[in-house]
């Protein structure tokens, strides 16, 4: 087992900077697009053999130091009784968005052995095949809440914030139920064999630090505390959340993901010792000439420095138009430049 990723998560010395990519298993790969011509996203997520196959695709193509389970953050939400679809080019779409306490009360608790057995089976299959660690994941409380309230992706998150500010009872009940579901989902993945987990609270960066502290952080702390006893690295990530880094750390993360908006050395200084950082090449850089990718990558590695505790990744997920060969070259570049 190549354990450089796990060592870096624990801020231990490594021979070279480990690399993996958010959304490395998915839409930019031609073999995945071919599979999608025959199967829907949720169908792939719910079929262990297909989910395992997609997870393995990027590992076969490039020398990444970790695999990330192919699934969707909305899968546990669907198991709570929510009628949803994943629309190509748009994302999750909820038929009946939540807007009141009575709506929230429709959500049921999930039972992973019953409701998410296909995820457990996919994880079990993968840990036999892989020679790198497998990362499990979940959406974060605010992000899942936003999809349920907005009915789909949003730019303003107006409905979400309206409920959060205007109906504390409904908001608290929703966050409570989502927190329980997230913990149950993460624990089932770890118990099935996942070596680390990441919480994607992707849209939490739309909140001010004060609002995040009041309305989200208490639940995020419970998510991370809910898997602490299982002793695997826990990663916390949000987009546009430079102002929340310290709070994301204080939620209980061992690793904080940083998007491309903040230099990695500034993030490391703010987070302090004992917390690893992950990131942070802008995904769109890979759509340009590789010379530019190399320049930005060398700068990130220089800024990250020699201290343990850096995992190279993008500042968000791989974009659909990315050339797989560019990602392969990037992986090799990071390994070569960072070799100690």
Closest alpha carbon to 10 in 335, 313, 278, 302: 278
Closest alpha carbon to 100 in 156, 153, 161, 173: 173
The upper half-sphere exposure of residue 122, i.e. CA atoms within 13 Å in the direction of its Cβ, equals 27
Closest alpha carbon to 14 in 271, 312, 249: 312
Tens-digit pLDDT profile for residues 284-319: 999 999 999 999 999 999 999 999 999 999 999 999
The residues that are catalytic are 23, 27, 36, 72, 147
pLDDT for 203 equals 96
The upper half-sphere exposure of residue 137, i.e. CA atoms within 13 Å in the direction of its Cβ, equals 24
Report CA-CA distances (Å) from 259 to 117, 189, 251.
Answer: 33, 25, 18
Q: Are 238 and 212 in contact (CB under 8 A)?
A: no
Residue 253 has pLDDT above 80, yes or no: yes
Residue 68 has pLDDT above 90, yes or no: yes
- Rounded to two decimals, the pTM is 0.97
- Average pLDDT of the chain is 97
DSSP per-residue letters across 65-132: S-EE----TTHHHHHTT--EEEETTTEEEESS---SHHHHTT-----HHHHSHHHHHHHHHHHHH-SS
Q: Give the three-class secondary structure for 134.
A: strand
Closest alpha carbon to 70 in 141, 129, 124, 122: 122
- N-to-C CA span, the chain: 20
CA 146 to chain centre: 16
pLDDT for 220 equals 98
pLDDT for 87 equals 87
Tens-digit pLDDT profile for residues 70-117: 999 999 999 999 999 998 778 899 989 999 999 999 999 999 999 999
Q: How confident is the model at residue 340 (pLDDT cuts 50, 70, 90)?
A: confident
Tens-digit pLDDT profile for residues 9-60: 999 999 999 999 999 999 999 999 999 999 999 999 999 999 999 999 999 9
pLDDT for 184 equals 98
DSSP per-residue letters across 135-178: EEEEE-HHHHHHHHHHSS--SS-HHHHHHHHH-HHHHHHHHHHH
Q: Are 255 and 233 in contact (CB under 8 A)?
A: yes
Residue 110: both structure tokens together: 């999930």
Residue 48: both structure tokens together: 């262990």
Closest alpha carbon to 283 in 338, 230, 321, 328: 321
Q: How confident is the model at residue 1 (pLDDT cuts 50, 70, 90)?
A: confident
pLDDT for 291 equals 97
């Amino acid at each position: 087992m190549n354990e450089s990723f796990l060592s870096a998560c624990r801020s231990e010395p490594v021979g070279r900077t480990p690399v993996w990519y958010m959304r490395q298993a998915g839409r930019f790969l031609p073999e995945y697009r071919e599979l999608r011509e025959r199967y829907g996203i949720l169908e792939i997520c719910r079929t262990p053999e297909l989910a395992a196959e997609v997870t393995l695709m990027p590992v076969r193509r490039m020398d990444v130091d970790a695999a990330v389970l192919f699934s969707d953050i909305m899968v546990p939400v669907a198991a709570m009784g929510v009628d949803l679809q994943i629309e190509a080019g748009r994302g999750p779409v909820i038929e009946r968005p939540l807007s009141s306490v009575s709506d929230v009360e429709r959500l049921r608790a999930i039972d992973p052995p019953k409701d998410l057995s296909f995820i457990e089976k996919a994880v079990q299959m993968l840990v036999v095949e892989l020679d790198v660690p497998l990362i499990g994941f979940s959406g974060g409380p605010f992000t899942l809440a936003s999809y349920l309230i907005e009915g789909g992706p949003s730019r303003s998150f107006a409905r979400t914030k309206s409920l959060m500010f205007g109906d504390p009872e409904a908001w608290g009940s929703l966050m409570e139920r989502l927190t329980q579901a997230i913990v149950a989902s993460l624990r089932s993945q770890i118990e099935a064999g996942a070596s680390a987990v990441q919480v994607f609270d992707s849209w939490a960066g739309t909140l001010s630090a004060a609002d995040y502290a009041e309305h989200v952080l208490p639940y995020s702390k419970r998510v991370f505390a809910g898997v602490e006893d299982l002793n695997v690295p826990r990663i916390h990530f949000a987009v546009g959340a430079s102002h929340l880094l310290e709070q994301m750390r204080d939620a209980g993360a061992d690793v904080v993901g940083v998007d491309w908006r903040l230099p990695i050395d500034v993030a490391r200084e703010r987070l302090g010792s004992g917390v690893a950082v992950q990131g942070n090449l802008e995904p769109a850089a890979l759509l340009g000439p590789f010379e530019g990718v190399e320049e930005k990558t060398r700068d990130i590695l220089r800024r990250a420095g020699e201290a343990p505790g850096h995992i190279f990744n993008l500042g968000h997920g791989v974009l659909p138009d990315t050339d797989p060969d560019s990602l392969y070259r990037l992986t090799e570049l990071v390994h070569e430049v960072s070799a100690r």
